[in-house]
Amino acid sequence: MPKKDVDLSRATWRTSTLSGSNGQCVSVAFVDGHVAVRHSKDVDGPVLVFTDSEWRAFTGGVHLGEFDLL
């Protein structure tokens, strides 16, 4: 997916309070109608940017169990 042209300098990153100390955490920011996702332990690393509708489709799939491990 190509990176959307979103200014992340104003992003307020949030990390789940359920994230443990094992280093497998993600941070999410909502900016200009987009959702940015990054590894919380690598704040200068790559960022995935999704449109609002892409994010809603993903979170809807999570709620429906589409990504549950068998």
pTM for the model stands at 0.79
Query: What does the pLDDT read at residue 58?
Result: 95
**pLDDT reading at 3 higher than 60:** no
Cα end-to-end span (Å), the chain = 27
- The predicted model gives 7-17 an average pLDDT of 89
pLDDT given at position 1: 45
> Per-residue pLDDT for 23 more than 90?
no
Q: Report the alpha-carbon distance of residue 70 to residue 51 in Å, rounded.
A: 29
| Average pLDDT for the chain | 87
